[in-house]
Amino acid sequence: QVQLVESGGGLVQAGDSLRLSCVASTRTFSRDAMAWFRQAPRKEYVFVAGITWNGGTNYADSVKGRFTISRDNAKNTVYIQMNSLRPEDTAVYYCAANRGGAVVTTVAPYDYWGQGTQVTVSS
């Protein structure tokens, strides 16, 4: 059974940093594109950042320069380093895997999803 398990969320103040991790049990991890999405209360899923199997990255405009996505294929893990956090970054953060290998900003192409980790940024 494929699982994606996120960790690292929490309650922080504006300007602080957090690093989220996502460990995947997929056998195809090294070839999958991985992404982070977030969902604020009563809002839709929003693309945050994505990374291809060989390290190509894409970011939402709202997080460029503040967030960095990375992966360790030997550990089946994808990370997102979040700096200079703002209250508007408050959301549940989900990692997702796309076996097709492309980083896309919409939800549908992603085959597997984690359960999410809460990030709350106070002002």
Tell me: pLDDT of 1 over 90.
no
pLDDT band at residue 26 using 50, 70 and 90 as cut-offs:
confident
| pLDDT above 80 (res 80) | yes
pLDDT tens across 37-60, in order? Answer: 999 999 999 999 999 999 999 999
Q: Please, are residues 40 and 51 in contact by the beta-carbon 8 Å criterion?
A: no
User: Dihedrals φ, ψ of 54, to 5°?
Assistant: -105, 20
- How far are the Cα atoms of 10, 14, 35, 41 from residue 57, in angstroms, in the given order? 25, 25, 9, 27
